[in-house]
Structures are given as C-alpha cells and as structure tokens.
Amino acid sequence: MYSVIIIDSFGEIYELKYSPNEYYSLMELIINTIVEDMGDCKGRSWCGTCMVKLVKGIYSSAILTEEQLKLNEFSELEYERLSCQIPLTKELNNTTWKVLDSRAII
C-alpha cells in the first residue's frame, strides 16, 4: 500500500492510501476519496479541471501530447499536471499535490 498527500481546493490536507492501478488515475482516486468537483471532460485532457501541482516530492512521467496542449494554456504555472493523466503507480508514493482547478485560474 502506498500513499499520496492531497491538498484540496479548501486547503484541507488528506493522506490517501492506494494500491497500484487501484483506479485508472490520480484524479479518480481523489474523486472517490475526497469531495472535489473536478473531471468535467472525464479524463480526456480537454477541461483542465483536474489540474494539480506537485508541491513536495519528486515525480516524473511522460506527458502525452494532449495533456501538454492543455498545460500550455497555463504556462505561467510550474510543476502542474492533469491528474486524469497520472497513473496510480508506486512513483507517486510520498508525493504531495495541490488541487488547482483551471476554472479558478482563468
């Protein structure tokens, strides 16, 4: 069992336990364990409502073209990712992410 820390849009901090590939993505783990209004496009990289920022830890995985195109709209931000494109793998263990939500940024 691994864990990831999530800071929600209200600033509340949660430690979420997960097994690798328990959900399709980090977004689904967040939606299914804490109340967050995200995922308008249901993981298609179109909406940005699932945007999160890495605030602690090291995480790197390939950013696919569709995700990069959406992230390019927020080029002033650093370390942001679309949580719908982050798989639940052991590489996420002990990382901390803040929920951003593109609707609050624009």
Among 6, 30, 84, 86, binds ligand FES (CB under 6 A): 84
C-alpha span between 9 and 6 (Å, rounded) = 10
d(CA 23, CA 98): 19
Q: Provide the H-helix boundaries in the chain.
A: 26-33, 65-71, 102-105
Contact call for residue 80 and ligand FES (CB under 6 A): no
Structure-token match 């798989």, residue found? 87
Nearer to ligand FES, 5 or 41 (CB): 41
Q: Binder to ligand FES among 43, 53, 63, 91 (CB under 6 A)?
A: 43
Give the binding site for ligand FES (CB under 6 A).
27, 39-41, 43-50, 70, 82, 84
